[in-house]
Amino acid sequence: MNFTRDDVERMFDRGTLARGERYAREGRVLGVRRDAERINGEVGGSGGTVYSQVIRIKENRVGLWFDGACSCPIAHNCKHVVAVLLTSLEEEEAAPGSSLPFAAEQWLQRLSAMQHLSAMEPAAPRPHAQYRLGYVLMPQSASRNAPVGLHPCKLRLHRNGGIVGATLHTDLYSLLALPPAWVRPDDQDFVRQILAQRAGAMQAELFRPSGRLGARLLEQLCAQGRLLWAATREDLREGALAEVRPGPRRQATLGWHPETRDSEDVGLRWRFDDGAPIAAVLATDPVCYLDGGLLGELALPPSLAALPPAPLITLVEQAPSLHAEQR
């Protein structure tokens, strides 16, 4: 669908239009790919950051309008969108008279833009990051044997780098299709691993890392200091999160233990070989424990070590409470 500069000027306010014109004039648009009703672009921002745009061109009774999504903090119909639209117009006007194929012209433009960016003076230091993607282990409920899930979360940061709050981020596909500025390249690798392990599951279903892939994911997150723990959803909202660190290999036992100190009821519980209770046992391969801010391998008793971890741990979680004489 064709559009004109008048369409662009009618759609955007003066300030956004002026900033977008400046970006287009400075050659910050690194690429434009256009089809009938959509334009994809890439624009170089401050400090070498590259933002991606997906601009849809629509028509109503008033005329054409642009629905431009951008991966920058503004996110919608920003100066980067204007820069891509104006550059697209310039390319369209220049293409017929060019002696080079359009693809070659576009490649040369991208090369020129990258050279321009590299020649620019270093940008002023960016202000402190306001957000970050975190990976939070959290029990599904307050019950003793509640399963623990891994939740990608948007962390809100204090100026000193501390976490002041967090919210669940359930739309993982958007982090890949149109990643916000606070999503790092290695975050996309972790998100892809989570999506691959969740394949076939409902979006709202609790994601429980399992098997060898789950163990590898948790090990990577833990080694990089990216794995966090929240005891409750309230703690998550308030930013009361603890970093999970690598822990030593420990031995486990499984037996019937009192539900509370004075209770006559007993429940099937995992414990360390020194008798201390274990906060959570994860169905990874090898099986892992989560306790006291530590994540480590849990060696099961020989009679249980040959069983598949996921069904075994689910069976223990679902075990009913018994009276002491019934065990």
Q: Taking residues 171-194, what's their average pLDDT?
A: 86
Is the model's pLDDT at 123 over the cut of 50?
no
> Which tens digits make up the pLDDT trace of 125-148?
445 568 999 999 999 887 777 889
- For the ranges 62-76, 78-92, 131-145, 287-301, the maximum mean pLDDT occurs at 287-301
Is the model's pLDDT at 60 over the cut of 90?
no
- For the ranges 28-37, 163-172, 268-277, the maximum mean pLDDT occurs at 268-277
Asked if residue 26 lies in contact with residue 116, where contact means CB atoms within 8 angstroms, the answer is: yes
Q: What per-residue confidence (pLDDT) applies to 327?
A: 55
> Which tens digits make up the pLDDT trace of 242-254?
999 999 999 999 9
Q: How far apart are CA 116 and CA 107, in angstroms?
A: 14
Q: Specify the range with the lowest mean pLDDT, choosing from 19-23, 37-41, 176-180, 247-251.
A: 176-180
Asked if residue 82 lies in contact with residue 8, where contact means CB atoms within 8 angstroms, the answer is: yes
Is the model's pLDDT at 178 over the cut of 90?
no
Q: What is the pTM of this model?
A: 0.60
Could you tell me what percent of the chain has a pLDDT over 70?
Answer: 84
Which residues have CB under 8 Å from 289's CB, separation 6+? 247, 250, 252, 270, 272, 278, 279, 280, 281, 282, 295, 296, 297, 298
Q: What per-residue confidence (pLDDT) applies to 288?
A: 97
Q: Specify the range with the lowest mean pLDDT, choosing from 130-134, 187-191, 201-205.
A: 201-205
Q: What per-residue confidence (pLDDT) applies to 272?
A: 96
Q: What per-residue confidence (pLDDT) applies to 124?
A: 43
Is the model's pLDDT at 121 over the cut of 50?
no
For all residues of the chain together, what is the average pLDDT?
84
Give the residue carrying structure tokens 């693809």.
Answer: 103
